[in-house]
Structure 1
Amino acid sequence: MSIKKSVLLIVLVLLVDQVSKIYIKTHFVLGESYEVFEWFKIHFIENSGAAWGAKLNDFLPISENTGKIILTIFRLFAVAGIGYWLYDSIKKHASRTLVIAVSLIFAGALGNIIDSVFYGMIFNESINEIATLFSDEPYGGLFFGKVVDMLYFPLIDTILPAWIPYFGGKSFSFFDPVFNIADTAISTGVGILLVFNKKAFGQKSDEDPLGENQDLENL
Structure 2
Amino acid sequence: MNLKKSLLLIAVILLLDQISKVYIKTHFQLGESVEVLSWFKIHFIENSGAAWGAKLSDFLPISESSGKLILTVFRLFAVAGIGYWLFETIRKKSPKVLILAVSLIFAGALGNIIDSVFFGLIFDHSTGQVATLFSDEPYGGVFYGKVVDMLYFPMVDTVWPEWVPYFGGKSFRFFEPVFNVADTAISTGVGILLVFNKKAFPNKEEESEIEETVLGETINQVLENE
TM tier relative to shorter chain: over 0.9
Instruction: Quote the offset at 1:209 in angstroms.
Output: 5.2
1:177 equivalent in alignment to 2:177:
yes
Question: Matches of 1:59 and 1:163 in 2, distance apart?
Answer: 35
Instruction: Quote the offset at 1:159 in angstroms.
Output: 1.7
What is the aligned-residue identity percentage?
73
Q: Tell me the equivalent position of 2:100.
A: 100
Instruction: Please list the CA deviations of residues 183-214 of structure 1 after superposition, one character each: whole Å capped at 9, or x if unmatched.
Output: 0000000000000001111166x9x9527xxx
Asked which structure has the greater CA Rg, the reply is: 2
Q: Tell me the equivalent position of 2:156.
A: 156
**Number of residue-to-residue matches in the alignment:** 211
User: Could you tell me which of 200, 203, 214 is aligned with 1:210?
Assistant: 214
Q: Which amino acid aligns with 1:30?
A: L
Q: Which amino acid aligns with 1:128?
A: G
Question: Matches of 2:66 and 2:104 in 1, distance apart?
Answer: 29
In structure 1, stretches of 5+ residues that fail to align are 212-219
Structure with greater helix share of residues: 2
Structure-2 change in CA distance of 1:60 and 1:154 (3 Å): same
Question: TM-score, normalized by length of structure 2?
Answer: 0.89
Instruction: Quote the offset at 1:134 in angstroms.
Output: 0.4
Instruction: Quote the offset at 1:166 in angstroms.
Output: 3.7
SS at match of 1:191: helix
Superposition pairs for residues 59-138 of structure 1, below 5 Å?
59-138=59-138
Alpha-carbon RMSD: 1.8
Question: Matches of 1:92 and 1:78 in 2, distance apart?
Answer: 21
Q: Which amino acid aligns with 1:184?
A: T
Q: Which amino acid aligns with 1:38?
A: S
**RCO higher in structure (CA 8 A, sep ≥6):** 1
Question: TM-score, normalized by length of structure 1?
Answer: 0.92
In structure 2, stretches of 5+ residues that fail to align are 216-226
Instruction: Quote the offset at 1:124 in angstroms.
Output: 0.3
Instruction: Quote the offset at 1:156 in angstroms.
Output: 1.0
